[in-house]
Chain A
Amino acid sequence: QSVLTQPPSASGTPGQRVTISCSGSSSNIGSNTVKWYQQLPGTAPKLLIYSNNQRPSGVPDRFSGSKSGTSASLAISGLQSEDEADYYCATWDDSLNGPVFGGGTKLTVL
């Protein structure tokens, strides 16, 4: 059971906007910044969002992150077939004294 809770799956059609949620607690999301990672099939994870809403160089602005209280969200607009991947949220947990990940959300582009 992951410390951060994500829906196991999400889906959308090309061009659509989808959001993926990540729920935590006061000891993790509530007091620390959130990251999002994208893992394409058969590849290593890739940093998508850090500091709640910052995009590394090279990440399209179709990807955006937000945080409110003990929850965070990843939004993908203008959905493309190449966005089909697993998405993980992550943050630091003050109680566990270590970084924690969500269980991952498998995004399917219909």
Chain B
Amino acid sequence: EVQLLESGGGLVQPGGSLRLSCAASGFTFSSYAMNWVRQAPGKGLEWVSSIIGSGSSTHYADSVKGRFTISRDNSENTLYLQVNSLRAEDTAAYYCARALDAWYTFDIWGQGTMVTVSS
């Protein structure tokens, strides 16, 4: 079964950091670009970042550029998101999502991990 399982979320103070993980199974992980998409409580979806299959190219939304870093370990079938300098507005459920094609069609989603930024 194709599956994505996120972990690493939690409560963190403003300015703090977290490392989110997404464990993939059931497909050839290295063949797919992977993404992080977030959703603030009661709000819509916002794309955060993407990384191609080899890991050699990354892409970020302006709202997180310079603070978040996406990476992947294809030997461990795991996607990561290092989130630094967290702000209250980063509070959201963070989903990892597989890209079906080059047009950012997200065909497989994880269940999400919640990040809450509060003092």
Give A contacts to B, CB under 8 Å: 2, 32-33, 35, 37, 43-47, 50-51, 56, 88, 90, 92, 96, 98-104
Are B105 and A104 interface neighbours, CB within 8 A?
no
**In the complex, what's the smallest C-beta–C-beta distance from A8 to chain B, in angstroms?**
10
Are A45 and B47 interface neighbours, CB within 8 A?
no
Nearest A residue to B60, CB-CB: A98
**In the complex, what's the smallest C-beta–C-beta distance from B51 to chain A, in angstroms?**
14
Known contacts A44-B112, A47-B107, A51-B105; 16 additional CB pairs below 8 A are: A32-B103, A33-B103, A35-B106, A37-B45, A43-B111, A44-B110, A47-B106, A88-B44, A88-B45, A90-B45, A90-B106, A92-B103, A92-B104, A98-B59, A103-B44, A104-B44
Which of A44, A51, A90, A98 is most buried by chain B, counting CB atoms within 10 A of its CB?
A: A44
Nearest A residue to B93, CB-CB: A44
Are B95 and A101 interface neighbours, CB within 8 A?
no
Task: Give bound CA distance, A17 to B61, whole Å.
Answer: 36
Check if B100 is an interface residue, CB within 8 A of chain A: yes
Check if B46 is an interface residue, CB within 8 A of chain A: yes
Nearest A residue to B107, CB-CB: A47
A selection of 10 A-B contacts at a CB cut-off of 8 Å is: A35-B106, A44-B110, A45-B95, A46-B109, A47-B100, A47-B107, A88-B45, A90-B45, A90-B106, A101-B46
Are B106 and A37 interface neighbours, CB within 8 A?
yes
Instruction: Given A44-B110, A56-B107, verify A50-B45 contact (CB < 8 Å).
Output: no
